[in-house]
Structure 1
Amino acid sequence: MKNICIIGGGACGVAAFIELFVQISTQKLEDQLSITIIEKSKKVGYGLAFGTTEKSHLLNTQAELMGIFADEVEHFSEWLHDNAYRARGRVEEENGDIDHAYTSRILYGDYLHEQFASHLKKAKSINLNVELVCDRADDIEVDGERFKVILEKGNPIQSDYVILALGNPEATNFKDFQRYPHFINSPWPAHKMLEKIDKKAHVGILGTSLSSIDAVVALMDHGHEGKISLFSPEGMLPRVQPIENNEIVRSYLTLKNVHMIKRKHFRAPKVKELFRLFMRDAENVKKGPIDWKEQDRLGKKADDYLAKDIELAENGGDAILNVAYSLRYDAAKLWSWLSEEEKNRFKKWLGPHWAVNRHGMPLSNAKRLKALMDKGVLTVHAEIGDINPHENSFEVEFGEKGKKTVDNLINATGSPSQVEDMDCTLTENLLKKQLIHPYPSGGILVNELTLEAINKSKVCGIYGTGHLLNGMMLDVNAVWYNVRSIAALCQDILFKARYGENC
C-alpha cells in the first residue's frame, strides 16, 4: 500500500485531502492508498489565516468563489445559506445577497474544518486509511524509493508522495527588530499583537496591503484610542472591491491575441505588450480615453483616492477594476507565458499597481478606514526610509524629510517571496539536500501542470502548493486558484500510483 503525506492542515492541506478522497473513492483505490496529514495545530482547517477570532477580519474574496471543491466554487456560498446565521462569525452583505458576501475568516475556518471532519468520516466509512498526526515536519529523507518524513517529536513517517501545503511563513525582513518588546513581527494571530499594545499608543504599521488593514481593524475593534500610521515604499492602499463587479468581455487582452504574439514573433510576450492591450480594453470599457498618469498612485496621498474608490465600488467599479477582475481566470496562463525576465519586470514595474487593483479591500473596511482618516487617527506615508529603534519607540523616516516616532511597530509586509528567505526548518533542509530548487522570481521550481517539484537530485514525488509557488504561479494566495491547481496535483499522484512512475 502506498502512502500520500500532506504536510500542513490549512486551506491547501484540507483541499488536498478532500480532493484525494474524492478521486480515490471514485476510482476504488482505497485498498491501495493511505493518507497521512501532518498538522501542528490540534484543529485542521484554520491555520493563521482562518483561525483568527477577530470577527472583523473579513475574507477579501466574495463567498461565491471560496468553495473548497475544484469544480464547485459556489459550495461555500451554498453552505452559508444554511449556516451563516447560526454559525459564529460575521457576514458583510448587501441586500441579503449571500453569494456576494464577505464573511469573517473564522467563519470560513469553521467551514473548512467541517468539510474536513465530514470527509474524514466518509473516508473511514469506505475503509480508506487516513491518519492525522499532530506534529511539525522538519525534514524529509530519501529512503530508497520512498520518503521518510522527520517529525519534531514523533516517529518518522514512511511515504511515497509528499504534498507541501505549508501556508504562509512569517516575514523575515526585520529580524534585527525582534529583540525589541515593542516590535510585533506579524499581525497574526491578532491576540499576540493586541496584548503588547497599549490602547493609547501611537502604532506604526509597516505595509499598506490587506494585512495592514486587518491590523488596523483589529486595533479599532478592541478600543484603540491612539494614532495609527501606515508606512510603505509606494504608499498605496488596496482599491475597494465593488459590491458586484460589472461583467465585461475583453476584446484586446485575450488569450487568443497574446498567443498570436507567440506564434507570429516566435517569442514570449512582453509585459509592455500585455499592458498596452490592458489599456485598450480599459478605454474600450470606459468608452473614452483614460489619463494613465493620474492612475499612477505611487507616492500620492492615499486619502485623496479612498473616498472616490468607495463611491466607485458602490456603483460596480471603474473600467480598470473591472478589466482586472475579468482576468481572474486567464491571468495565471498569461503569467506562465512570460519569461523569467519579464516576470521580474512585471513585479518591479506593474506589480504594486496590479496588487492594489486586483486584490481590493471589502467595502465595509474601506468605510472604516475613511472614517479614521477623516478624524486624523489614521495616516498613510510613502517612500519609507530608515527605521531607527529606540528603547521604547521607533523612529520611521519617509518621503524627503518626513519622520515619525511610534510607540509600537507592526510588520505587515507579508511573507517573503524567495524560498531562501522563508523561516521554515523544513524548506531549509530540503534546499540543502536539493530536493527543492529555488525559482528566480520566488518560491520553488515546479512542473506548472502537476505542481511536482523539479530538483537537481532528480527525485520525484514531492509536490508544492500555495505561497511556496509564488514565483512560478500567480494568485497562489487565492483559495479558488489553489483548489483548482490541487485537483491536477492529486490527479497526477493517483495516475502514478495506479500505473507506475515515469519521471
Structure 2
Amino acid sequence: MKKIAIIGGGACGSAALIELIIQSINARLEQQISFVLIERSEKAGYGLAFGSKQRTHILNTQADLMGIYAHEPTHFAEWLKEHGGKYRSDVKSESDEENAYTSRLLYGHYVAEQLQETIKKAEEKHIKVERIEAEAFNINRLENEKLRIHLTNNDTTEVDEVLLAPGTPKPNTFKEFKDHLNYIDFPWPTKRLLERTGKKDHVGILGTSLSAIDTVMSLVDNGHTGEITMFSPDGMLPRVQPDENNIFERKYLTLSNIHKLKREHGKPPRAKELFRLFIKDIEEAEGKPVDWKSLNRDAKDPLPLLKYDIRIAEQGGDALLNMAYAMRYDTSTIWSWMSLHEQIIFTKWLGRHWTITRHAIPLYNAKRLVELIKKGQLEIIPQNNDVSFLKDKNCFKITTGQDGIFEVDQLVNATGSATKLEEMKNILIENLVKKQYLKPHPIGGAVINPHTMQCISENGGSHIYAVGHLVNGMLMDVNAVWFNVKTIARLASEIIFKTSANGHV
C-alpha cells in the first residue's frame, strides 16, 4: 500500500488530490494507494488566494479558464451557471458567465465543494483519504526511501510520495521591520491588514501589481478614507483585461516557426529572435510599424494610461493584449525551449513588460482605480529607492528618485509572491533548502523535472514533487489555475504509474 501526502490544501493541493483520486479510481488501485492531505486551516480548498471574505476581491482570470479539472477548463463556468450565473452579487461581468470575473471566495467555495465530492467518491471506492489539520515543518528521508513528515501538532506521518503545494509564498523581505505593528508583511489574510490600519491613516503599499491592487480594494471596501500611496521601482500598473478578448491569430511567433529555428540553427531560440517574431505579428495586425520605445510605461503618469487601457479593453483589447492572451497555452513550451542564459536575458529585458500585459487588471477594478486617483485618495509613485522607519515619528519614510520623500503611517508589503526559495517565508521550504532536498533555480523556485514535476536535488531522492509558485523559475504561468492543473495531471500520472503493478495501469 502506497501512501501519498499532499502538503497544502489550497487550490493546487486540492486539484492534486482530486486528480490523484480520479486517476486512482480509473486505474483500480483501491487496494494499493491511500492519501493524506496536510493543511493547517480548518477548511481545505481555499488557501490564502481564495479564502478572502472580501466580495470585491475578484479573480484575475475569466471563469472559463478556471475549471479545477485538468481537461475541463470550462467546468467552473458551467458550475457558475448552475449556481446563479452572472446575476449573482459576487460576479462582475458585462458579458456571459464564460467571461465573468467572480469573487475569490466564490471560487474557493467551488474548489472546496469539488474536493469534498471527490473525497466522497474515493471513500465509496474504499480509497482511504486522511485529513491532518496541522502544518508540516520538516521532512526526513528514511533508509527504506520512505519520507517522514514532521507536523506542528507534535506528530509525524510516514509516506511514500510527497507533493509540495504550499500555495502563495509570503516574502521574507524587509525583515528589519517585522517587529513594528504598523508594518504588514503580507496583505493576506485581509483581517490582519484591516485590524492594524486606521481608517484615516496614510497607507503606503510596496508594489503596483495585482496583489497591491487587491490591497487597495481591501482598504477602500472597508471604509478607508485616508491617503493610499503605491510605490514600485517602475510605477507600472498592469494593463486592463477585456471581459472578452478579440481573436488574434499569430502567423510568426508560433510553436512551428520557433521549432524550425531550433531545427535549422541547432540551438535554443534567443530572446531577441522571439521578440522579432513578436514584433512582426503585432505590426501585421496593426497594419503599420509600431514605435516600440513609446510603449515603455516606466515611470509614466498612470492615470492617462489607465484611462486608455480601459477604453481599449471595452473594445476587446489591442494587438498587444490579445496576442499575449492568445499565447497563454504556448508560453510554457517556448520558455522550456530557451536556454537558461536566454531566460535570464528575457527576464531582465522584457519580463516586467510582459507581466503587466499578460497578467492584467479586470475591467471592473481598473475603473475603480481611476476614480480613486481622480479624487486624490490614491497616488502611484515610481523609483522607490529606500525604505526606513522613523522611530521619533512612528512612521515609515520612502525615498524616491522622482518625487522626493514620503512619510506613511502604515506600510504594506504587497510586492507579490516571493520568487526565489531563499525569499520565501515558509519553515518547511527553509528546512528543505538547508538539507538540500530542494535545489534553488537561478531564476526562482526549485529545480524540477518539468515532465513529471519531481524535485531534482542533491539529497531529496525521487519521491518529492512540487507545483505552483514553488516551480516559478522553470515554468511560466504558475500563478494561473488552468496551468497548474495541467502540470498536476502530469504529476498525478507519474505517481499512478509508479504505484501500479509493474508500471502498468
Q: What TM-score comes out, normalization by structure 2 length?
A: 0.97
1:126 aligns with 2:147: no
After superposition, the C-alpha distances for 1:231-255 in whole angstroms (9 at most, x for unaligned) are 0011100100011111111001011
Alpha carbons 2:381, 2:403 under 8 Å: kept: no
1:403 aligns with 2:405: yes
Amino acid aligned to 2:452: T
Partners of 1:53 and 1:156 lie apart in 2 by 32
Give secondary structure in 2 for the equivalent of 1:404. strand
After superposition, the C-alpha distances for 1:261-299 in whole angstroms (9 at most, x for unaligned) are 111111111111111111111111112222211110011
Cα drift, residue 403 of structure 1: 1.6
Give secondary structure in 2 for the equivalent of 1:230. strand
Equivalence for 2:458? 456
Equivalence for 2:384? 384
After superposition, the C-alpha distances for 1:395-450 in whole angstroms (9 at most, x for unaligned) are 11112452211111111001221112211121122222222211111111100111
Alpha carbons 2:68, 2:485 under 8 Å: kept: yes
Amino acid aligned to 2:477: D
1:426 aligns with 2:428: yes
Q: How does 1:17-166 map to 2 (within 5 A)?
A: 17-84=17-84, 90-95=90-95, 97-143=96-142, 144-166=144-166
Partners of 2:402 and 2:302 lie apart in 1 by 17
Cα drift, residue 209 of structure 1: 0.2
1:480 aligns with 2:482: yes
Q: How does 1:332-351 map to 2 (within 5 A)?
A: 332-351=332-351
**% identity of equivalent residues:** 48
Alpha carbons 2:86, 2:100 under 8 Å: kept: no
Structure 2 unaligned segments of length 5 or more: list them.
none
Cα drift, residue 369 of structure 1: 0.3
1:323 aligns with 2:288: no
Equivalence for 2:493? 491
Moved more, 282-291 or 314-323: 282-291
Partners of 1:283 and 1:466 lie apart in 2 by 34
Equivalence for 2:473? 471
Moved more, 372-381 or 477-486: 372-381
Alpha carbons 2:229, 2:380 under 8 Å: kept: yes
Alpha carbons 2:37, 2:130 under 8 Å: kept: yes
Cα drift, residue 458 of structure 1: 6.3
Moved more, 170-179 or 459-468: 170-179
Amino acid aligned to 2:283: E
Alpha carbons 1:169, 1:416 under 8 Å: kept: yes
Amino acid aligned to 2:438: I
Q: How does 1:196-211 map to 2 (within 5 A)?
A: 196-211=196-211
1:443 aligns with 2:445: yes
Alpha carbons 1:444, 1:453 under 8 Å: kept: yes
Give secondary structure in 2 for the equivalent of 1:149. strand
Alpha carbons 1:69, 1:75 under 8 Å: kept: yes
Partners of 1:401 and 1:42 lie apart in 2 by 46
Partners of 2:110 and 2:32 lie apart in 1 by 30
1:357 aligns with 2:368: no
Amino acid aligned to 1:193: L
After superposition, the C-alpha distances for 1:46-98 in whole angstroms (9 at most, x for unaligned) are 11110000000000000000000011000000010011469986100114x11
Partners of 1:435 and 1:60 lie apart in 2 by 33
Alpha carbons 2:141, 2:460 under 8 Å: kept: no
Cα drift, residue 189 of structure 1: 0.8
Give secondary structure in 2 for the equivalent of 1:214. helix
Cα drift, residue 177 of structure 1: 1.1
Amino acid aligned to 2:314: E
After superposition, the C-alpha distances for 1:355-403 in whole angstroms (9 at most, x for unaligned) are 1000001101000000111111111111111112113211111124522
Amino acid aligned to 1:394: F
Alpha carbons 2:62, 2:243 under 8 Å: kept: no
Structure 1 unaligned segments of length 5 or more: list them.
none
The 3 A distance-change label for structure 1 pair 151 and 338 is same
The 3 A distance-change label for structure 1 pair 191 and 29 is same
Partners of 2:160 and 2:12 lie apart in 1 by 19
Partners of 2:281 and 2:220 lie apart in 1 by 40
* CA RMSD, Structure 1 to Structure 2 (Å): 1.5
Cα drift, residue 472 of structure 1: 0.4
Partners of 2:87 and 2:53 lie apart in 1 by 13
Partners of 2:339 and 2:218 lie apart in 1 by 40
Amino acid aligned to 2:252: Y
Moved more, 165-174 or 11-20: 165-174
Equivalence for 1:12? 12
| Matching residue within 411, 414, 428 for 1:412 | 414
Partners of 1:335 and 1:89 lie apart in 2 by 39
Q: How does 1:235-246 map to 2 (within 5 A)?
A: 235-246=235-246
Give the ranges of 4+ consecutive aligned residues of structure 1 lying more than 4 Å apart after TM superposition: 85-89, 499-502
Give secondary structure in 2 for the equivalent of 1:486. helix
Partners of 2:173 and 2:129 lie apart in 1 by 38
Partners of 1:40 and 1:80 lie apart in 2 by 28
Moved more, 52-61 or 190-199: 190-199
Cα drift, residue 149 of structure 1: 1.1
Partners of 1:57 and 1:435 lie apart in 2 by 36
